[in-house]
Structure 1
Amino acid sequence: MTAVHESIMTTEEFEKLAEAADRIAEGVRLEFIDGQLGAKAMPDGDHGRIIQWLIRLFVALRPELFLTPEQGLRVDRYRTGRARPDGVLAAADAFVGQGEWADPEPMLMAVEVTSGDQDTERRDRQEKPKAYADTGIPVYLLIDRATCELVVYSDPNGERYDRVLSVPFGATVQLPPPVDVHLDTDPLKAWVR
């Protein structure tokens, strides 16, 4: 028996809602993944510091790339979803001239840093790996502050990632191609509570 999943709104209706939320409710960041509406928690200081750390690392290790925070993306197999990863790794000019919801084709990696909200399990650990794999994003990096683990998803097959590697904060991990960098996760220990 297969479950029937029906969207609560169209992509166009979501975009209008997200635009209105941006105007009237400062700090509200909406997403629309797999036909479901979600709101991202506002990042705390440690969350922001982790993104700063990653930006600096990639400037040093892969200067031809840039980790863009909060870039809206068209996700899911038919690009009907809308996500705002905490960071998007791509060539520096990859999103120039695109609107709020960019084509994910030039992306090498999506990054999410978990927050303390109740939707983290569903959104960051279940929905986003599926949506990013459906979209063909080569690498999904989840920095899970609740479990103190870095999770690297790679090799998308159109439905899911075939490879998932979890390492504890403090380990060094090789991010797979096309990212292809060694990442020492020791600094992450300082930014969890």
Structure 2
Amino acid sequence: MSITADHRPQMSVEEFEEIAAHTPETVTLEFINGKIGVKAVPDGDRGAIIMWLLRRCMQSRPELDLHIEQGLRVDAYRSGHARPDGVLAPIAHFAGQGEWADSQGALMVVEVTSYDPDTDRRDRVEKPAAYAEAGIPVYLLIDRDTCETMVHTEPEGGKYRSIRSDVFGANVVIPGLGITLETEILKQYVR
């Protein structure tokens, strides 16, 4: 007797959006692969990393915005909703799109790992697949557990064909975006 995974969604996208609209500000919900999940609220170090990245992106590419926690529809047929730590896109790209914007036009999504038990599944497995499936050109993972950055590029067939890892302290080039990150400072923001 074989056991198969149940891939049926827990609820419809509309039901998820209704629940998410009524959650307190201290709770951040996501809906990936038909499953509802809770995203950890940023701690002080994680917030400092996001602000550092915001400054680096604005200095390198002032014609782009790094939108903090902009909700994105990321799966085929609008069955997924993610709230990345950052989304790099042209200035005012998401204006008028509401809480859950279309991911088309996003140039890069960013996640900074949390110190919670779901980080491995969420940031290293589910989100890269969802972002690649959505065709987002770059997924930047700042991994505080392994003290490295992972730049995922070349989305194809629901995964990124190229993944480059660099330890904190290296200069990280974001392909196609003209952004280089000097990551030495990230060593200050890990446990």
Q: Please say whether Structure 1 and Structure 2 have the same fold, judged by a TM-score greater than 0.5.
A: yes
Query: Contact 1:136/1:158 (CA < 8 Å) preserved in 2?
Result: no
Which residue does 2:188 correspond to in 1?
Answer: 190
Residue 4 of structure 1: how far off its partner (Å): 4.9
- Assess if the C-alpha contact under 8 Å between 2:13 and 2:78 holds in 1: no
Residue 10, structure 1, aligned to residue 9, structure 2: no
Tell me the equivalent position of 2:179: 181
Give the match's secondary structure for 1:110.
Answer: strand
Give the aligned partner of residue 21 of structure 2.
19
Q: Which amino acid aligns with 2:19?
A: L
Aligned to 1:127: 126
- Distance (whole Å) between structure 1 residues aligned to residue 153 and residue 76 of structure 2: 17
1:134-159 per-residue CA deviation (whole Å, 9 max, x = no partner) reads 00000000000011010110000031
Distance 1:163 1:3 in 2: 28
Root mean square deviation of aligned Cα = 1.2
Amino acid at match of 2:169: G
Alpha-carbon deviations, 1:84-118, whole Å to 9, x = none?
00000000110011110001111000000001111
Q: Counterparts in 2 of 1:26-105, with a 5 A limit?
A: 26-105=25-104
Q: 2:129 & 2:21 partners in 1: Cα distance? A: 25
- Give 1:69 shift: 0.3
Q: Say which is worse superposed, 181-190 or 101-110, in terms of deviation.
A: 181-190
Report runs of 4+ in structure 1 exceeding 2 Å deviation.
1-4
Whole-Å separation in 2 of the counterparts to 1:175 and 1:78: 29
Over the matched positions of the two proteins, sequence identity in percent amounts to 58
1:14 maps to amino acid: F
Gaps of 5+ in 2: none
The AA in structure 2 aligned to 1:76 is: D
Using the TM superposition, give the Cα deviation of residue 78 of structure 1 relative to its aligned residue in structure 2, in angstroms: 2.2
Q: In the alignment, what sits opposite 1:156?
A: 155
Q: Give the Å deviation of 1:5.
A: 1.1
Which residue is 2:108 aligned to? 109
- Where structure 1 has 5 or more consecutive residues not aligned to the other structure, the ranges are none
Shift of 1:173: 1.6
Hey, what's the Cα distance between the residues in 1 that align with 2:49 and 2:72? 21
Question: How many pairs does the alignment contain?
Answer: 189
- 2:72–2:101: 8 Å Cα contact kept in structure 1? yes
Contact conserved, 1:7 with 1:36, CA < 8 A, in 2?
A: yes
